[in-house]
């Protein structure tokens, strides 16, 4: 998914549902890209959930929300 400043409510709902279904199967860490290493992936996802729930309609937080989409892409590509 390309970056965008605003994600629809349906996109965010589907994203959160996917992560909730995968919560017990998340790896402990993840090399998201060349420059981004996430040492505690479950904790990071949990913190990003709060961002989505509290600020999902605020474009200021679109970068953090986009990270969740990138994490999901990386995890599904690895399956």
Show Cβ contacts of residue 70 under 8 Å, excluding neighbours closer than 6 positions.
32, 33
The predicted pLDDT at position 1 comes to 80
Are 18 and 72 contacting, i.e. CB atoms less than 8 angstroms apart? yes
Task: Work out the pLDDT band at 15, boundaries 50, 70, 90.
Answer: very high
The predicted pLDDT at position 19 comes to 96
Are 60 and 6 contacting, i.e. CB atoms less than 8 angstroms apart? no
Q: pLDDT for 17-68, tens place per residue?
A: 999 999 999 999 999 999 999 999 999 999 999 999 999 999 999 999 999 9
The predicted pLDDT at position 78 comes to 83
No. of H helices and E strands in the chain?
3, 2
């Amino acid at each position: 998914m390309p970056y965008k400043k605003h994600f629809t409510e349906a996109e965010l709902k589907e994203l959160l549902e996917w992560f909730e279904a995968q919560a017990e199967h998340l790896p402990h860490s993840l090399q998201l890209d060349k420059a981004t290493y996430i040492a505690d992936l479950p904790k990071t996802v949990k913190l990003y959930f709060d961002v989505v729930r509290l600020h999902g309609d605020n474009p200021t937080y679109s970068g953090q929300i986009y990270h969740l989409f990138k994490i999901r892409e990386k995890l599904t590509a690895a399956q």
